[in-house]
Structure 1
Amino acid sequence: MTKLSLGTAPYLLGFEQLERLLERNAKSGNEGYPPFNIEQTSDNSYRITLAVAGFSQRDLAITIEDRQLVIRGRQHDETEGRVFLHRGIAARQFQRSFVLADGVEVGEAVMENGLLHVDLTRAEPETVVQTIQIRKG
């Protein structure tokens, strides 16, 4: 039995990029930290919420790279001169990636009570009907 992929299905023309996106997302190394929620806030809007306790606004960066929303966190080490008897709160860094569909735009990002909220909206696609003229060859 042969494996049928998106790029080889005869009626799915131009979807090779979708298959590459799925492979890239599977390899992105998104581990379980930090935990996050994705909620649909209306028919065309979403909110991603990451639990980023211990991170300040200056420790976080949000970018869009090749149709991926990338959220990075890196805490600055401010422990010089301090003596810990126990250190159970690790200062770790993270990177979370979310693949964005065409038409999805990133809105505002808000930090509130140790939670980072990133709002997304999806533009309502226009229905376009195009007539192709057939010429005699």
Structure 2
Amino acid sequence: MLLICIGKPGVDLYRTLSDSETSRHILRFYHPKELEAGISVEVSTVSSGLALLSELRWYIMRYMQEVLIEDTEHGVYLSQNLAREAYDSRSITLSPAWETRFRICVTEEGEVLRLPEGVPEPDGVVTAYAVWGLPDEHP
């Protein structure tokens, strides 16, 4: 299961996290991999991913635009808020009929776009993630 962290435009997230002693300490057992616009971190469970995100909270607020957690059962990514809601409250049951669906697209220029399902991707998109989120996160 992957945790995807997408940096804000102009931020080299891998270098930023590598240069910080605190984030290096937090990530020491995870071995993040550099992506075009961020990093990926392999985690074993949703709970371990959420725990890691809690540790990285300051870096998320300052340097990251999107954080996604892979849902291997449904073949999509979950927004951080949906993953937390589903895990913490257990009041949400994820199913293929999930209604709040969108895509997170990263362009060649490093811009991050949220596109509703069915809207074509603009030219220059280098990476796109199918995402389920909470209703208030829909673009």
TM-score under structure 2 normalisation?
Answer: 0.24
Q: Which has the higher helix share?
A: 2
TM-score under structure 1 normalisation?
Answer: 0.24
